[in-house]
Amino acid sequence: MLSPTDLDRLVKIRHHLHRHPELSCQEEQTAQFVADRLAELGLPVVTGIGGHGLVATIGQGGPAVGLRADMDALAITELTGLPYQSQAAGVMHACGHDGHVTILLGAAMILQRQNFAGQVHLIFQHAEERFGGARLMLDDGLLQRFPMERIFGLHNWPGLPLGAVAVHDGPVMAGTAEFALRFQAAGGHASMPHLTGDPLLAGGHFMTGIQQAVARSVDPMEAAVVTVGSFRGGHAQNIIPQEAELTGTLRAFRAPTLAHLRARVAAVAEAAAAMAGCGWSLEFDANPCSPVVNTAPERDILRQAAGTALIEAPPPVMAGDDFGEFLAVLPGAYAFLGNGALTPEGGLHQPKYDFNDAAIEPGAALLARAALLALGA
């Protein structure tokens, strides 16, 4: 469905994107580059949606379907040594969003050559890794400006056979929420703990107590994770510090479970503070991710679009993707696209990761077929 000339062009596009990554909410040049490529295809483009998001449309009138790709990179120093290695210090496409953008451009090339009734909205989303780009686009009127009945997306997956497609029943990725918890006290000399509360002790109580949030308050048949990723406080062995800060993440496949975990974090923090004689404050990330959960009709469309590339889906993962924000308001489905063998330090969010160019064609074909099937073409 894509000619050798098309594929050569797309690989060059992917390598350019990889060479020039931009962090979440900083994708100005990336968005302009994508808009220019869409203009070369003769497609109308609307830019600046919720920030650096953009949408191009193929077709007119009738029903509409959305196809989404994310565009942002990560704050990781690349160690691949590739000829097209990142030229931005400390920034790289370590999650394959450069490949996702290229796949959606390839899907556009395929769809332009098809006859179908209806519209396909190509959604190039910024800020997936941080700051909730999907929500930013939705809040800026994405669905009012580009009405659609359903939406599809994908993510490359190292460790699955190259070009293979996995489509889950129901949950695919977890919903996520991040928190920052602070304990405060007067602080003082280590020899006189009775004169102050102890933020470090409060943090220790919280560290052990929060594990009960999953072990003793979540249905054991349901998956959930609470992880404290940092604990900072104090600087000397003979001083009780005035403050300690803990940050962490909550993950679950159902929104009610995620809400329950948030409530448990607050309850355990309050108890830990009381035990250690401290004050406390708690903040949650303003941009949580809804779970990515496939709806059945759209799941079946993606599986049909995959054809012989379809494989049995692996278990759902606790990683997050704000594609779930779209699925919270639209029927849709999300696929894993095989990126080939998983190598040491070559997985997602690792410094030696690289998107496999050979996955461009099967990814583009998958999204294009899904859109055509959804439109009844």
* Pair 122, 301: CB distance under 8 Å: no
* Pair 248, 228: CB distance under 8 Å: yes
* Pair 333, 295: CB distance under 8 Å: yes
* Pair 56, 44: CB distance under 8 Å: yes
Q: What is the dihedral of CA 34, 370, 361, 170, to 10 degrees?
A: 100
* Pair 45, 55: CB distance under 8 Å: yes
Does the active-site annotation cover 245? no
Catalytic residue among 22, 27, 70, 72, which? 72
* Pair of tokens at residue 105: 């451009």
* Pair of tokens at residue 344: 């040491």
- Rounded to whole angstroms, the Cα distance separating 376 from 187 reads 68
Instruction: Report how far apart, in Å, the C-alpha atoms of 90 and of each of 73, 76, 79, 351, 354 are.
Output: 10, 5, 10, 10, 16
Catalytic residue among 70, 98, 128, 243, which? 128
* Pair 58, 43: CB distance under 8 Å: yes
Residue type, 135: R
Alpha carbons within 13 angstroms on the beta-carbon side of residue 238 total 1
* Pair of tokens at residue 325: 């924000």
Write the DSSP assignment of 84-121 as a string of letters: T---STT-B--SSHHHHHHHHHHHHHHHHTS--SEEEE
13: three-class secondary structure by DSSP: helix
Q: What is the dihedral of CA 7, 10, 16, 20, to 10 degrees?
A: -140
Distance of CA 119 to the CA centre of its chain: 26
Residue type, 211: Q
Residues in the chain: 377
* Pair 278, 233: CB distance under 8 Å: no
- Rounded to whole angstroms, the Cα distance separating 77 from 87 reads 10
Does the active-site annotation cover 72? yes
Catalytic sites, residue numbers: 72, 128
